[in-house]
Structures are given as structure tokens and as C-alpha cells.
Structure 1
Amino acid sequence: METEMKLGKSALTVAIVTILLLMIPFVAMQISGEVDWSFMDFAIMGTLIFITGMAYVTLTRFASYWVLKLAFIITIGITFFMIWANLAVGLIGSGPHAGNLMYIVIYLIVAIGTLRYYSNPSKMVYVMLATIGGLILLTIVAFLAGMQNYHASSASEILMVNGFFIVPYAIAAILFRDAARKLKSKN
């Protein structure tokens, strides 16, 4: 009962923070014509912020060591940023096309792996390695498909963007490994 009340309070806090963050573009729309969000933009971003906030609250509450907490924060944060950037401008070129849709596989690897193994840091290492492998494979597919020739895209951009995301997942993998070692030595 106490856990349910804490989770309810956390959900309310996350909902309030989500609304406050959505007020930024809403107010900007009133002041400037350069910000033009549709209802769908607010709905998608609100959902993304709320889910990210709840993932943070749930996973960091479970984490018994600061190293494990930090690993979850990095995983959640970089995944949020990847989704947001892809929705906002696209990660390969610009706009909705196969190159940007391929990242859905990466989100699924992180989400399904984390839901399945959040309580086992040693398995979370494999989730991070699978995510890194997915990003490397995505990069290879992008080059084989000639996506470096898309409008507003280049070979160096594809390499830099995917490398940018690989690094934090690698750091999270190292942190999950360290947390697993601490848990093992404790038992």
C-alpha cells in the first residue's frame, strides 16, 4: 500500500513536471510565430516526457547503488534525446524516411531489454551491448543503402550521430558491469 502511494505521488509529480515543460513551447507560441506546435506535437512530446520521467522514477528507485542509478539515468537520458532529436529533425537527413525509421529498432532494444532485465545489472550490460551493436548495424545499413546521399545528410554526419549515441551506451554498459560486480561481491 505504501509503495503504491509513493508511486502515485511520483506519477503526479512527473505529470506536473510534464505540464510545466510543455508550457514552454505553449508560451513561446503566444509570443513568437516561429514556434508552431500542433496538438499532436504536444501529445507526442507530453507522452515522451511522461514515460521518460516514470522510467526514471521507477528504475532509479530500484537501484541500490549510485553506479546503477547513474547507468539507468544515462540509458534513459540518451534514449530520450535520441527519440526527441529523431522526431524533431531526423538523425539521418531530414524528415520521415527509412533512415530515421530504422531507429525504432534501437528504441525497442532498449525498452524491451530494460523491461526484461532492469533487476539484473549483468544482463543490462548485454542490453547496452545489443544497443551498441544495433547502432553499428544501422550505420552499415545506412551506408549500404546510400543514405549518406539523402538531402541534409553526409557520411561524416551519419558516423558522428551514431558515434554520439554509442558512447553513452558504452559508458552505461561499463557502469552496469561495475554495479553487477558490487552486487556479486556483496552476496
Structure 2
Amino acid sequence: MTAFILLLPLLAMQFTDEVAWDLADFDVAGTLLFGSGLTYELIARKAGNIAYRAAIGVALTAALLLVWMNLAVGIIGNEENPANLMYFGVLAVGIIGALIARFRPHGMARALFAMALAQTLVAVMALIAGLGYPCSGPLELAVLNGFFVALFVGSAWLFRRAAKKMKNGDCA
């Protein structure tokens, strides 16, 4: 699957100069895609709960998109804007929270709510400080960050559902 997805930019490079990837871009993209897929398989395999698997899928997709967008074009300004490094703090909150929770659904819900809060704080700081302007206006920052907050909250909600189902002894 990773190889197929990486064929898309390779194909696009044949038709436009807008897509100009080098070997390092393909390496990073391949590592991100393969790593996300492998992580999903390892964690979701142990879960018999559909809500838990969906929550992991949403969380990993959100994290992958956050990293990919930051590396490709940046969210605050362009990809070279150091303010974008704050988003790696959002990911750190999630990773540390998941480890503390030992991937149990109730703790994972808290970790994802914390990620949503961290994402919101990054957006508020960027908006108040006028970071990224003129490349990223206030509306763009609010919409993009709101998208990620919604994904993190959605994942947290799915984890809460998974926790309730596990508490009730329901495996599906």
C-alpha cells in the first residue's frame, strides 16, 4: 500500500512541475506511511473492539496528516517557519499520554482530549501573535487547526465508547 501511494507523486511529477520531490521526500513519506500503517496493525490487532480500532485509525490519520502538512507546506506560514515546531509538541502530548495510558481506551480518550487542547493552544498563540502572516491568515489558521481539533476530539469520543463497551463486557 505504501508503494502504491508513493506512486501518486511520482506520476504527478511526470505531468507538472508543481510536484518536485527528491529521494529524501520519498524516504520521509514512505517512512511516515509505513510507520503509521504498522503502528495501526500492531495496536489494533490486539483490540476486539470496533470503536477502539476506529479511534486508533482516526488518531493515527490525524497525526500523519499533521506531520505531512507541516513538512510539506507548513500550517503557520510556510514549512520553514519555526512556529510550526509547536505542532510536534501536540504529538508529544499524544505519545506521552498513550504511553501513560498503556493504550487502554479510557486513558487514550484523555490523551486525545489533551492533544485537542494542545492543538487549540497552538492555534490561539499563533492567532494572538500574528504568526505566519501574510502566508497564513487568521481564517486559514482557525480552519486548519479546527480540523485537527475535530479529529482528535472524534478519536477521543471513539475511545470513550470503546471504554464503555469494554466495561460492559461487549467485545464488538
TM over 0.5: yes
Matched, 1:160 2:150: no
> 1:124-160: per-residue Cα shift (whole Å, max 9, x none)?
0110111011011112221232215x23111121111
1:87-102 maps to which residues of 2 (within 5 A)? 87-102=71-86
Structure 1 residues 47 and 144: CA distance shift in structure 2, 3 A:
same
CA contact 2:98–2:107 (8 Å) conserved in 1: no
Cα shift at 1:71: 0.8
User: Hey, what does 2:119 align to over in structure 1?
Assistant: 135
1:1-150 maps to which residues of 2 (within 5 A)? 17-147=1-131, 150=133
So what's the TM-score if we normalise by structure 1?
0.82
So what's the TM-score if we normalise by structure 2?
0.89
Higher relative contact order (CA 8 A, sep 6+): 2
Structure 1 residues 116 and 20: CA distance shift in structure 2, 3 A:
farther
> 1:73-126: per-residue Cα shift (whole Å, max 9, x none)?
111111111111121111112231122111111122223323443531000011
Task: Provide structure 1 residue ranges, at least 5 long, that are not aligned to the other structure.
Answer: 1-16
Could you say which structure has the higher helix fraction?
1
Percent of aligned pairs with the same amino acid: 34
- Aligned equivalents of 1:114 and 1:141: distance in 2? 25
Structure 1 residues 32 and 136: CA distance shift in structure 2, 3 A:
closer
Larger Rg: 1
Moved runs in structure 1, 4+ residues, more than 4 A? none
CA contact 1:67–1:179 (8 Å) conserved in 2: yes
- Aligned equivalents of 1:164 and 1:27: distance in 2? 28
- Aligned equivalents of 2:50 and 2:79: distance in 1? 39
